[in-house]
Amino acid sequence: MSMPTAPFGRTGHQSSRVIFGGAALSRVSQEDADRTYEVVVAGGVNHIDVAASYGDAELRVKPWLQRSPGHFFLATKTGERTAAKAREELHRSLERLGVDHVDLWQLHNLVDPIDWDTALSPGGALEAALDARREGLVRFIGVTGHGTQVAATHRRSLERFDFDTVLLPYNYVTMKNGYYAENFEALLATCAERGTAVQTIKSIALGPWAGRPRTYAPWYEPMTEQADIDLAVWWALGRRQVFLNSVSDIGLLPRFIDAAARLGERPDDAQMDELVERRHVEPLFV
């Protein structure tokens, strides 16, 4: 068994279909991060996704990049909306990561209509991204987002600019929302035509914590049993076009990677409905 790989859109990179979600390193020690490095490399993951807003994640990844130069496709994100502030944040990210460029720089969680218009208009963060690409500081430009509106918003974003990648939620319960599913399918069709890479998140979400004690790092309650994780990961990876960003908890990461490495047949609706009922899976976004 080994980690499956696929072309990451039109970037020319053959990426592991599980992308390491750097949010898992937001609040961990370097010692714990270095143990996670061993899990990531042994699991065949060759793609890292961090963000300027992920606590210490960029700092924790820096020794990984020094230890294995050229091994990882490296992505980070900016939450800034104006060109000036986005440029500042990019240079800070490059310094924290200890690199002179990143493979992919993404406009982070671009969903709010006012933010969207600011970021994609003259003087916005997209302008900074285009400048950075010309200067060789970034190779590719992407956009990310959360919520039930994001698939529709990404479609609008691709009408405004030919982004190289998109990132958005994808799991069985989320796709039961007819509005989301319709826009998700239309988005994937556009991405397939253009060679735009599709990254997905929240594949093993059980639902909001809803007042229960938070026993794992993510802001949502994750699946923890290997059999459940297998079903959720296999269902998502059964969509050959998508990549999965891993869970933001280093303790659960080995189970996530193991599920992908043992990728089996995509579960059918009956199997997924049984999982939803048994584990009381709820939508994260309504």
* Torsion region of 12: left, alpha or beta (phi above 0 gives left; psi -120 to 50 gives alpha): left
pLDDT digits (tens, 9 = 90+) for 55-95: 999 999 999 999 999 999 999 999 999 999 999 999 999 99
Question: What does the pLDDT read at residue 216?
Answer: 86
As a whole number of angstroms, the distance between CA 281 and CA 85 comes to 39
* Residue 248, CA atoms < 13 Å, CB-side half-sphere: 19
Question: What does the pLDDT read at residue 212?
Answer: 86
- Evaluate whether 97 touches 74 at the Cβ level (below 8 Å): yes
Burial code (b: 16+ CB inside 10 Å, e: under 16) for 120-156 equals beeebbbbbbeebbeeebbbbbbbbbbbbbbbbbbbe
What tokens does 152 get? 């529709």
127 phi/psi in degrees, rounded to 5: -60, -45
pTM of the model: 0.97
pLDDT digits (tens, 9 = 90+) for 188-228: 999 999 999 999 999 999 999 988 888 889 999 999 999 99
Helix 269-279, helix 226-237: angle, nearest 10: 140
Mean pLDDT of 101-110: 98
Q: Which domains does the chain have, with CATH numbers?
A: 5-279 (3.20.20.100)
